[in-house]
Chain A
Amino acid sequence: MLEQLPVLSLLIWLPLLSGILVLLSPGDKMLVWSQRFGVVVSLAVLALSVWLLAAFDTTTAEFQFVERGDWIPSLNIGYELGVDGIALPLVVLTGLINLLVLFGSTHSIKFRQTQFVAAVLLLTGAMNGVFLAQDSILFYVFWEAMLIPMFLMIGIWGGPNRIYATIKFFLYTFFGSIFMLVALIYMGRETGDFSIQAMQGMPLSGTEQSWIFWAFLLAFAVKIPMVPVHTWLPDAHVEAPTGGSVILAAIMLKMGGYGFLRFSLPITPDAAGAYANLIIVLSLIAIVYIGFVALAQKDMKKLIAYSSIAHMGFVTLGTFIILKLINMDAQSMAVQGAMVQMVSHGLVSGALFFCIGVLYDRLHTRNISDYGGVVNSMPVFATLLMLFIFANAGLPGTSGFVGEFFVIISSFQADWRIALFAGLTLVLGAAYSLWFYKRVIFGKAANDKIERLDDINIRERSVLIILALLVIALGVYPQFLINIMQPSIEQLIQLTSSSKLGG
Chain B
Amino acid sequence: MTHNLIHLLPEIFLLTAACIILLIDVFSKDLDRNLTYRLSQLALLATAVICMVQFPDVQYHLYDRHFILDPMAGIIKISVILLAMLALLFARPYILPRRILRGEYYLLHLFAVLGMMVMVSGGSLLTLYLGLELLSLSLYALVAMQRHAYQSAEAAVKYFVMGAIASGFLLYGMSLVYGVTQAIHLTDIAAYIADNEASLTLRFGLVFIVVAIAFKFGAVPFQMWVPDVYDGAPTSTTAFLSSAPKVAAFGLAVRIFGYGFIGTLIDWQGLLIILACLSMLVGNIVALAQDNIKRLLAYSAIAHIGYFLLGLLTGTAEGFAASFFYILAYAIMSLGGFGCLIYLGKGIEDVKNIEQLKGLGRKNPWGGLLISVLFLSMAGLPPFVGFWAKLEVFLAVLNSGFVWLAIFAAIMSIIGLFYYLKVVKVIFFDDPEKEQKIVAARGLRLGLGLTSLSVVALGLFPAKLLELCEQAFQYL
- Residue numbers of A with Cβ under 8 A of B are 27, 70-75, 112, 115, 137, 140-142, 144-145, 147-148, 151-152, 155-156, 162-163, 166-167, 170-171, 174-175, 178-179, 181-182, 185-186, 188-189
Contact across chains for A140 and B418 when beta carbons are under 8 A apart: no
**In the complex, chain A residues whose CB is within 8 Å of the CB of B383:** 141, 145
Closest A residue to B369 using CB positions: A23
Whole-angstrom distance from the CB of B357 to the nearest CB of chain A?
15
- Interface size for B (C-beta < 8 A) is 33
**In the complex, chain A residues whose CB is within 8 Å of the CB of B461:** 71
Per-residue CB contact flags for chain B residues 460-471 toward chain A (1 = under 8 Å, else 0) read: 011100110010
Contact across chains for A163 and B425 when beta carbons are under 8 A apart: yes
Contact across chains for B421 and A171 when beta carbons are under 8 A apart: yes
Whole-angstrom distance from the CB of B288 to the nearest CB of chain A?
12
| B266 in contact (CB, < 8 A) | no
Contact across chains for A182 and B407 when beta carbons are under 8 A apart: yes
Q: For the complex, what is the distance from the CA of A170 to the CA of B381, rounded to whole Å? A: 11
Contact across chains for A185 and B391 when beta carbons are under 8 A apart: yes
**In the complex, chain A residues whose CB is within 8 Å of the CB of B429:** 155-156, 162-163, 166
Residue in B365, B417, B425, B466 whose CB lies within 8 Å of A75: B466
Contact across chains for A167 and B421 when beta carbons are under 8 A apart: yes
Closest B residue to A175 using CB positions: B414
Contact across chains for A141 and B466 when beta carbons are under 8 A apart: no
**In the complex, chain B residues whose CB is within 8 Å of the CB of A70:** 463
Which stretch, B73-81, B203-211, B273-281, B398-406, touches the partner chain A?
B398-406
Q: For the complex, what is the distance from the CA of A73 to the CA of B422, rounded to whole Å? A: 36
| B127 in contact (CB, < 8 A) | no
Chain B stretch 396-449: residues in CB contact (< 8 A) with chain A: 398-399, 403, 406-407, 410-411, 413-414, 417-418, 421-422, 424-425, 428-429
**In the complex, chain B residues whose CB is within 8 Å of the CB of A74:** 463, 466-467, 470
Q: Which 8 A-B pairs have the closest CB atoms?
A: A141-B382, A72-B463, A155-B429, A178-B410, A144-B382, A185-B394, A182-B406, A145-B383
Whole-angstrom distance from the CB of A431 to the nearest CB of chain B?
37
Q: For the complex, what is the distance from the CA of A181 to the CA of B386, rounded to whole Å? A: 14
Contact across chains for B395 and A71 when beta carbons are under 8 A apart: no
**In the complex, chain B residues whose CB is within 8 Å of the CB of A182:** 394, 398, 406-407, 410
**Could you say which of A167, A185, A186, A189 has the most chain B C-beta atoms within 10 Å of its C-beta?**
A185
Q: For the complex, what is the distance from the CA of A178 to the CA of B394, rounded to whole Å? A: 11
Whole-angstrom distance from the CB of B29 to the nearest CB of chain A?
45
Contact across chains for B463 and A145 when beta carbons are under 8 A apart: no
Whole-angstrom distance from the CB of A300 to the nearest CB of chain B?
24
Whole-angstrom distance from the CB of B104 to the nearest CB of chain A?
41
**In the complex, chain B residues whose CB is within 8 Å of the CB of A167:** 418, 421-422, 425
Q: For the complex, what is the distance from the CA of A170 to the CA of B421, rounded to whole Å? A: 9
| B376 in contact (CB, < 8 A) | yes
Closest A residue to B391 using CB positions: A185
Q: For the complex, what is the distance from the CA of A479 to the CA of B376, rounded to whole Å? A: 44
Whole-angstrom distance from the CB of B365 to the nearest CB of chain A?
8
**In the complex, chain A residues whose CB is within 8 Å of the CB of B268:** none
Closest A residue to B321 using CB positions: A74
26 CB contacts below 8 A, A to B, read: A72-B463, A74-B466, A74-B467, A75-B395, A112-B362, A115-B365, A137-B391, A142-B382, A145-B381, A145-B382, A151-B421, A155-B425, A167-B418, A167-B421, A171-B421, A174-B381, A175-B414, A178-B413, A181-B391, A181-B394, A182-B394, A182-B398, A185-B391, A185-B395, A186-B403, A189-B395
Whole-angstrom distance from the CB of B412 to the nearest CB of chain A?
10
**In the complex, chain A residues whose CB is within 8 Å of the CB of B428:** 152, 155-156
Q: For the complex, what is the distance from the CA of A230 to the CA of B206, rounded to whole Å? A: 50
Whole-angstrom distance from the CB of B431 to the nearest CB of chain A?
11
**In the complex, chain A residues whose CB is within 8 Å of the CB of B395:** 75, 185, 188-189
Given A72-B462, A141-B383, A147-B381, A179 contacting B407 (CB threshold 8 A): yes
**In the complex, chain A residues whose CB is within 8 Å of the CB of B467:** 73-74
Whole-angstrom distance from the CB of B13 to the nearest CB of chain A?
33
Closest A residue to B379 using CB positions: A174
**In the complex, chain A residues whose CB is within 8 Å of the CB of B406:** 182, 185-186
| B63 in contact (CB, < 8 A) | no
**In the complex, chain B residues whose CB is within 8 Å of the CB of A171:** 414, 417-418, 421
Contact across chains for A181 and B410 when beta carbons are under 8 A apart: yes
Q: For the complex, what is the distance from the CA of A347 to the CA of B173, rounded to whole Å? A: 69
Given A162-B429, A163-B425, A179 contacting B410 (CB threshold 8 A): yes
Contact across chains for A174 and B417 when beta carbons are under 8 A apart: yes
**In the complex, chain A residues whose CB is within 8 Å of the CB of B414:** 171, 174-175, 178
Closest A residue to B376 using CB positions: A148
Closest A residue to B388 using CB positions: A72
Whole-angstrom distance from the CB of B340 to the nearest CB of chain A?
18
**In the complex, chain B residues whose CB is within 8 Å of the CB of A112:** 362
Given contacts A71-B463, A145-B382, A166-B429, 14 further A-B contacts (CB under 8 A): A71-B461, A72-B463, A74-B467, A141-B383, A144-B382, A145-B383, A151-B424, A174-B414, A174-B417, A178-B410, A179-B407, A181-B394, A181-B410, A189-B395
Contact across chains for A148 and B381 when beta carbons are under 8 A apart: yes
Closest A residue to B384 using CB positions: A145
Contact across chains for B425 and A140 when beta carbons are under 8 A apart: no
Q: For the complex, what is the distance from the CA of A255 to the CA of B429, rounded to whole Å? A: 27
Whole-angstrom distance from the CB of B472 to the nearest CB of chain A?
13
| B55 in contact (CB, < 8 A) | no
| B387 in contact (CB, < 8 A) | yes
**In the complex, chain A residues whose CB is within 8 Å of the CB of B381:** 144-145, 147-148, 174
Per-residue CB contact flags for chain B residues 366-383 toward chain A (1 = under 8 Å, else 0) read: 000000000010000111
Q: For the complex, what is the distance from the CA of A178 to the CA of B424, rounded to whole Å? A: 20
Q: For the complex, what is the distance from the CA of A147 to the CA of B406, rounded to whole Å? A: 23
**In the complex, chain B residues whose CB is within 8 Å of the CB of A166:** 425, 429
Q: For the complex, what is the distance from the CA of A74 to the CA of B381, rounded to whole Å? A: 21
**In the complex, chain B residues whose CB is within 8 Å of the CB of A72:** 462-463, 466
Q: For the complex, what is the distance from the CA of A457 to the CA of B422, rounded to whole Å? A: 40
**In the complex, chain B residues whose CB is within 8 Å of the CB of A170:** 417, 421
Q: For the complex, what is the distance from the CA of A145 to the CA of B398, rounded to whole Å? A: 24
Contact across chains for B466 and A185 when beta carbons are under 8 A apart: no
Whole-angstrom distance from the CB of B386 to the nearest CB of chain A?
11
**In the complex, chain B residues whose CB is within 8 Å of the CB of A156:** 428-429
Contact across chains for B463 and A186 when beta carbons are under 8 A apart: no
Per-residue CB contact flags for chain B residues 242-265 toward chain A (1 = under 8 Å, else 0) read: 000000000000000000000000
Contact across chains for A186 and B421 when beta carbons are under 8 A apart: no
Chain B stretch 84-132: residues in CB contact (< 8 A) with chain A: none
Contact across chains for A140 and B463 when beta carbons are under 8 A apart: no
Whole-angstrom distance from the CB of B198 to the nearest CB of chain A?
31
**In the complex, chain B residues whose CB is within 8 Å of the CB of A141:** 382-383, 387
Q: For the complex, what is the distance from the CA of A27 to the CA of B461, rounded to whole Å? A: 29
Whole-angstrom distance from the CB of B312 to the nearest CB of chain A?
18
Contact across chains for A73 and B463 when beta carbons are under 8 A apart: yes
Whole-angstrom distance from the CB of B358 to the nearest CB of chain A?
12
**In the complex, chain B residues whose CB is within 8 Å of the CB of A145:** 381-383
Contact across chains for A186 and B398 when beta carbons are under 8 A apart: yes
**In the complex, chain B residues whose CB is within 8 Å of the CB of A137:** 391
**In the complex, chain B residues whose CB is within 8 Å of the CB of A152:** 428
